[in-house]
Homo-oligomer: A and B are copies of this chain.
Amino acid sequence: MVDKSLIDKIIVGERRAIARAISYIESDNNLTSEYLKELYSKVGNAYRIGITGPPGAGKSTITNQLTKIYRKQNKKVGIIAVDPTSPFTGGALLGDRVRMNDIGMDNGVFIRSMATRGSLGGLSKKAIDAADLLDAAGFDIIILETVGVGQSELDIAQAADTTIVVLVPESGDSVQAMKAGLMEIADLFVLNKCDRPGSQQAYTALQTILMIKEHDENTWLPKIIKAIAQENKGINEIADEIEKHKAFLIDKNLFQLKRQNQTKVRIKEIVEHKLKDELWSEEREHLLNSSLKNIFLGNSSPYHIAEKIIQQFFNKS
């Protein structure tokens, strides 16, 4: 059952209540959607910034420095860091959070790191739920930070008003081809660690790629900002560019439209997620397992079994 007093505490921004509600989201508690339903009328006032890029590009440092700028403007900042862990990258990413210590003690800042165990898709969904929660709790800026390793950066861009892609000079080769996905979601590129060798070539390469992107006066053309986040160089420019992008969206009547499209995609995902949950009940998992052997005996096919399962789903539901 929904605890009304928790709702009230979240709305006034009580930190412990927020933390508890995010834990509900993380543990995939069935109550989550009930809480979010109650809170949703308060959602929509925060500006959402997505920050993505390869591991080690300096995303946390940029988040950190940007947060300080927003705090000087007296804005409350909520940070959701999505850490897709893998046997190969797990530890390092979580370690990044340590660097956040200097902003973590500030009462106008709320930081939550969400790590994945298993499916990444599910994690992004949870991160967006958490962002809604912080939005309802009165945070002015919400930063969604994620490592770009496949799907997560697309999910985050799908939830952000402005998406920042952070690259380093060494990502040059990836930039050209591998990260085509990143190219398409960026509203703003940050070429970080620009004191490293190869930064000018990387900058030129990025510019070349951007030039072939089709655009007209109603399309936002992403800018490339050179930065050395560790030394706080380029951060004001990033904050300015975010403001410009926001102004552009509002000026061209794209702001609400973008959010509407994002919400539409999100509802579809919620529906599909829920349906999938109902679909793979113990009963149907069992039907699947017991049907498998028929395939290897040569008297069935994946398509036959799929039909049987769908039939059973509709009859039972």
A residues contacting B by CB (< 8 A) are 33, 36-37, 40-41, 43-44, 54-56, 86-89, 92, 149-151, 170-171, 173-174, 176-178, 180-181, 183-184, 209, 212-214, 256, 259-260, 263-264, 266-268, 270-272, 274-276, 279-280, 288-289, 292, 295-296, 298-306, 309-310, 313-314, 317
Contacts and interface: CB of A to CB of B under 8 A. Distances in A.
A264 B279 contact: no
Contacts of A151: 150-151
A89 B180 contact: yes
A289 B227 CA distance: 42
A311 to B, nearest CB: 10
A222 to B, nearest CB: 13
Nearest to A270: B306
Contacts of A264: 288-289, 292
Contacts of A150: 150-151, 181
A89 B302 contact: no
A179 B270 CA distance: 28
B40 A256 contact: no
A178 B57 CA distance: 11
A247 to B, nearest CB: 21
Contact of A271 (B89, B149, B295, B309): B309
